[in-house]
Amino acid sequence: MIGIGIVGLPNVGKSTLFNAITKAGAAEAANYPFCTIEPNVGMVTVPDKRIDELAKIINPQRVVQATVEFVDIAGLVAGASKGEGLGNKFLSNIRGTAAICQVVRCFDDDNVVHVSGGVDPIRDINVINGELILADMETIDKALEKNKKLLVTKNKDVMKLVPVLEKCQAHLNEEKLLKTLNLTDEEKELIKVYQLLTIKPMIFVTNVSEDDLATGNEYVEKVREYAKGLDSEVVIVSAKVEEELQEMEEADKEEFLESLGVEEAGLNRLIRAGFKLLGLQTYFTAGVKEVRAWTINIGDTAPKAAGVIHTDFERGFIRAKVASYEDFIKYSGWKGTQEAGVMRVEGKDYVVQDGDLMEFLFNV
């Protein structure tokens, strides 16, 4: 699956936000519905000050940062699950993503048309979630119809699957997202093949005016309250501000953000939140040729981490030399951490921590 799908009703600022995220201007942004038809995909660098600090110590020939993928998907309208607007196309595009980023309009502007006639973020979220629920209901109903017929075969997998599908069906019939249903890891694995929409991790981006960027507003508070029930994060962004920032020099950006009462661009927070939403974390390798951030899943062991460099590293893994980022900075590199006794040697069962500095020993 590709990364994070940016979704929302038409004219909430999705494509403007995507353009700012990718700094590529690849997504058309205009003041009319269905401006985005084919999904635009952008690989985005994950802002991480740690890699800059590592580079100061190592002075490498090059620095390579971690990336995360964002996808700008066409605006959805009520009735999408029945084919309204770009319905089926929207749903198939989002089905291929690993997580959902819902952009919600939280600003008043008579010059920007709202597809529903007025600003109401919770109504907008419910429209999107309602369509996702209806799409999942259709998927589950078809799966149940097929698998119930197979129960007569006494197939063990089918006998395990049907009760899970029935549990999902009952939950969806209550108009609830599957991400709020208490499923075991085994049950999630059984239904993984269906690429259900409402089970995906979700984050909400509240698109506000420039004046509300630092503190938010009453619309944002409503979204925050709603997101609590889904255990989802809320990020405040002003798509208009982010668009303006892309045209500025670095020094001017800092001054502009300071004048707005914020320390960093909202997009930086969004990209980091998206990285976390996907269950990803970073470890580093640091040598004179290259300082690099490597992307792995949270909970990955040392051999898995080695495998993202090269599959041979995972197959032939023997052990890893490890130092925490904090110790690496404190003692100025590998030599200092070894002399201070804080550099460790870890084996195959070691679970990599975010920010670890690692070197691998392996059999070719």
351: domain CATH number is 3.10.20.30
Residues 6+ away with beta carbon under 8 Å from 360: 302, 306, 309, 313, 317, 319, 320, 321
DSSP bridge partners of 351: 301
Average pLDDT over residues 94-107: 91
Residue 77 included in any domain? yes
Same domain, 331 and 195: no
Q: Of 327 and 73, which is predicted with more confidence?
A: 327
What does the pLDDT read at residue 204?
A: 96
Helices (H), 156-213: 156-173, 185-191
Total structural domains in the chain? Answer: 2
Same domain, 41 and 187: yes
DSSP bridge partners of 294: 283
Average pLDDT over residues 237-257: 86
- Whether residue 320 is predicted with pLDDT greater than 70 in this model: the reply is yes
What does the pLDDT read at residue 251?
A: 83
Share of the chain above pLDDT 70, in %: 88
What does the pLDDT read at residue 81?
A: 46
Task: Write out pLDDT tens, residues 191-235.
Answer: 999 999 999 999 999 999 999 999 999 999 999 999 999 999 999
Same domain, 23 and 115: yes
Same domain, 202 and 265: yes
What does the pLDDT read at residue 76?
A: 59
Same domain, 233 and 196: yes
Same domain, 271 and 319: no
Cα–Cα distance measured from residue 131 to residue 262, given in angstroms and rounded to the nearest whole number: 35
Predicted model pTM: 0.83
Expressed as residue numbers, the domain containing 304 is 299-362
Handedness of CA 89, 92, 98, 99 (dihedral sign): positive
228: domain CATH number is 3.40.50.300
Residue 290 included in any domain? no
What does the pLDDT read at residue 30?
A: 34
Same domain, 13 and 44: yes
Cα–Cα distance measured from residue 287 to residue 205, given in angstroms and rounded to the nearest whole number: 38
Residues 6+ away with beta carbon under 8 Å from 142: none
Mean per-residue pLDDT over the chain, rounded:
87
Highest mean pLDDT among 43-47, 109-113, 238-242, 284-288: 284-288
